[in-house]
Amino acid sequence: MADKPRIKLPKEAAKGEVIQIKTLVSHVMESGQRKDAQGKTIPRKIINKFACEFNGKPVFSCALEPAISANPYIQFDAKVDEAGTFKFSWTDDDGSVITAEEKIALKA
Amino acid sequence: MAPRYVGLAAAFVAAASVATVAFAQDAERKGIAAPPGHVFKTIISGYEFRSKETRALQDDDLENPGFLAVERAADVWKKVEGAAGKSCMSCHEQAETSMKGVGAAMPKWDDKLQKPVNLEQRINICRTEHMKAEPWKFKSQELTDMTTFVRYQSHGMKVAVKTDGPMSPWFERGKQIYYTRYGQLDLACESCHERNNGKFMRADFLSQGQTNGFPTYRLRDQRLVPLHERFEGCMFDVRAEPFKPLSDEFLALELYVAWRGIGLPVETPSVRN
Amino acid sequence: MKAINRRQAFALGGGFVMLTLMPMAADAEVTNDAAKWIEKFTDGKTPAKGKISLDLPEIAENGNTVPLSINIESPMTAESYVKDVMIIADGNPNAGVATLSFTLLSGKAEASIRIRLATTQNVVAIAKMSDGSLFMEQKTVKVTIGGCGG
């Protein structure tokens, strides 16, 4: 799970502009419904929560269930009123958290 | 109506509507003109046989999950491994320039081994001979990632395998395998991918069986699948005992099938069903 | 060389028919917990129609990866915005798919995700607004289970 998440957002935005953010993270999203070759259920292991905040304030978050595809793709919007830093986090069932940051500037 | 008959009825309705959409898509398939003497008039990528949603997934550099592998391997490219203290980069520098076109021309003749090698084998030859590192196992994430990464450096370039000279007997062997019926179902590659491509079977479209998108992110497997694993899958489906990945048989077949897609753009990492 | 004959086509197709019918038969007997999810999210209130546009393919090429986009009509101001949107699938082993939480900083109440659908079923989205009002939309997605396994 050391893979870097993939994130796409503009480098700068006009004040008050609503931008689109695309994220993709590498994860098997094991549903807990599958069985291995011996017929034993493979235990569930998913990303169960995604969150995005901007300069410490929540922007968007979601609770995820096993019905989310492997390598979860999440796209959402954000209204940019000031320059700053987006923080992204993906929380695994095992408690580990994948994090990433992206900066955005205001258009002059 | 008993619940299971409702299910049955629903399945028929679903199958019927899928078939309707099938015809709508048929007319839109674009291909390239095949060179003289080729088996097809028009060579068509597997991309054209997929739904618009699957095509959109491939086309978006951020959404396409195959790029997770490209990025992983881009880091591994720089990583020193093995007794020689080298990384891929020590010899090949920037993959973006040194690997351009390499994946489009595979498999390629190897003078030392006196046989053609494919990209997976070439990567492992580099590892064992030059890096003095352990070879990666076929189907391992590392080998499939690196194969995808190197092949991606030829993205959009035309498939251009050489089939003459010492490659010629391998080409003929591949062709022979392509047209040989295997397994309990007694089917050849030709039975589905030449004679019946474009038709709707097993709730899916039979493609021309082109290889220009491999390794490909298969929705079914939710990971990248290397070509020889797909070959194995086809043979398994016709209830044959598959040849081994990286065997001479699959290598000959890889060469021959690459020629059947000559001129198609490399789409790695593609997205397929 | 002959074309695929009837027997071969049947043998190849057989796997598909079994796979398609079995989960459906099973689903009829196993209760999906969609009703519980809805009850919990809505507190028993009945959502109104409208406001939500839910975009899903009519036919999913593969149930493992079905693109879903949602857009809820809202000014997204302090006076009126979309808070939470629950997405459930009424034919999966578990109905839950995702619950999206928007804020004023979201700017727009729209999102895209990729979901797994085990069989042909309805995908339901219910939006909870800042004033407590509820809206609902649903789409049927046909899921074919076929193709060449390998």
Which tokens go with B38?
């080729």
Residue where the block lists tokens 């494919």? B118
The neighbour count for residue C27, using CB atoms within 10 Å, is: 20
Q: Which residues of A touch C100 (CB under 8 A)?
A: 60-62, 76
Find, in chain C, the residue whose alpha carbon is nearest to that of B14: C142
Å from A59 to nearest chain C CA? 5
Which tokens go with B78?
């720089």
Handedness of CA C101, C103, C109, C114 (dihedral sign): negative
List subunits contacting chain C, requiring 3 or more Cβ pairs under 8 Å.
A, B
User: How far is it, in rounded angstroms, from Cα B216 to Cα B171?
Assistant: 23
Identify the pLDDT of residue B3.
45
Q: What confidence category does residue A37 fall into, taking pLDDT thresholds of 50, 70 and 90?
A: confident
DSSP-assigned beta bridge partners for residue C67: C114
**Which residue in the set C89, C100, C103 is minimally distant from A67, CB to CB?**
C89
**Which residue in the set C1, C8, C28 is minimally distant from B4, CB to CB?**
C28
Q: Which of C30, C82, C113, C115 to mutate to test the interface with A (most CBs of A within 10 A)?
A: C113
Residue where the block lists tokens 């304030």? A57
Q: Tens digit of pLDDT for each residue in B245-260?
A: 999 999 999 999 999 9
Which tokens go with A8?
């796409």
Contact C32, B221 (CB under 8 A): no
DSSP C77: B
Amino acid at B4: R
The DSSP line for B112-171 is: TTTEEE-HHHHHHHIIIIIS--PPPPTT-HHHHHHHHHHHHTTBTSBP----SGGGHHHH
- B192 counts as catalytic: no
User: How far is it, in rounded angstroms, from Cα B137 to Cα B121?
Assistant: 10
Q: Tens digit of pLDDT for each residue in B53-68?
A: 999 999 998 999 999 9
CA distances, B64 to each of A86, B241, B272, C82 (Å): 22, 33, 11, 29
With CB atoms and an 8 Å threshold, state whether A60 touches C110: no
Nearest CA to C88 out of C134, C28, C33 is that of C33
Residue C100: half-sphere exposure toward Cβ, Cα within 13 Å? 29
Q: What confidence category does residue A2 fall into, taking pLDDT thresholds of 50, 70 and 90?
A: low
Does A4 contact chain B (CB < 8 Å)?
yes
Mean model confidence pLDDT for chain B: 90
Q: Tens digit of pLDDT for each residue in A72-81?
A: 999 999 999 9
For residue B215, whether the previous peptide bond is cis, meaning omega lies within 30 degrees of 0, is yes
With CB atoms and an 8 Å threshold, state whether B72 touches A3: yes
Give the H/E segment covering residue C8: helix C6-29
Q: Any idea how long chain A is?
A: 108
Q: Which residues of A touch C65 (CB under 8 A)?
A: 69-70
For residue C17, pLDDT over 50 is answered with no
Find, in chain B, the residue whose alpha carbon is nearest to that of A74: B63
CA A71 to chain centre: 10
List the 33-92 stretch of C: residues with Cβ below 8 A of B.
57-62, 64-67
DSSP-assigned beta bridge partners for residue B272: B218
Does B65 contact chain A (CB < 8 Å)?
yes
Which tokens go with B183?
């397994």
Å from A36 to nearest chain B CA? 14
Find, in chain C, the residue whose alpha carbon is nearest to that of B240: C150
Q: Any idea how long chain B is?
A: 273
Q: What confidence category does residue B272 fall into, taking pLDDT thresholds of 50, 70 and 90?
A: very high
With CB atoms and an 8 Å threshold, state whether C105 touches A59: yes
The neighbour count for residue A14, using CB atoms within 10 Å, is: 10
With CB atoms and an 8 Å threshold, state whether A6 touches B62: yes
Handedness of CA B127, B128, B131, B137 (dihedral sign): positive
With CB atoms and an 8 Å threshold, state whether C103 touches A60: yes
User: How far is it, in rounded angstroms, from Cα B37 to Cα A31?
Assistant: 50
List subunits contacting chain A, requiring 3 or more Cβ pairs under 8 Å.
B, C
List subunits contacting chain B, requiring 3 or more Cβ pairs under 8 Å.
A, C
Residue where the block lists tokens 């079905």? C66
List the 37-66 stretch of A: residues with Cβ below 8 A of C.
54, 57-66
Percent of chain A with pLDDT over 70: 98
With CB atoms and an 8 Å threshold, state whether B219 touches C59: no
CB pairs under 8 A between A and C: 93
Identify the pLDDT of residue C113.
97
User: How far is it, in rounded angstroms, from Cα C52 to Cα C80?
Assistant: 15
Q: Tens digit of pLDDT for each residue in C20-51?
A: 444 444 444 456 899 999 999 999 899 999 99
Residue C33: half-sphere exposure toward Cβ, Cα within 13 Å? 9
**Which residue in the set B11, B21, B57 is minimally distant from C21, CB to CB?**
B11
User: How far is it, in rounded angstroms, from Cα B7 to Cα B95?
Assistant: 52
Nearest CA to B159 out of B271, B41, B266 is that of B266
Which tokens go with B30?
């674009």
Residue where the block lists tokens 């809505």? C42
With CB atoms and an 8 Å threshold, state whether B62 touches A22: yes
With CB atoms and an 8 Å threshold, state whether C24 touches B54: no
Identify the pLDDT of residue C6.
54
For residue B233, pLDDT over 90 is answered with yes
Residue where the block lists tokens 């047209």? B179
Amino acid at C68: L
Which tokens go with C18?
């079994």
Give the H/E segment covering residue B11: helix B3-26
CA B40 to chain centre: 19
Å from C105 to nearest chain A CA? 5
Nearest CA to B173 out of B222, B229, B115 is that of B115
Find, in chain A, the residue whose alpha carbon is nearest to that of C107: A79
With CB atoms and an 8 Å threshold, state whether A6 touches B223: no
Q: Tens digit of pLDDT for each residue in B159-210?
A: 999 999 999 999 999 999 999 999 999 999 999 999 999 988 888 889 999 9
With CB atoms and an 8 Å threshold, state whether A66 touches C94: yes
Which tokens go with B169?
């007997």
For residue C61, pLDDT over 50 is answered with yes
Q: What angle do CA A24, A69, C138 make, to 5 degrees?
A: 110
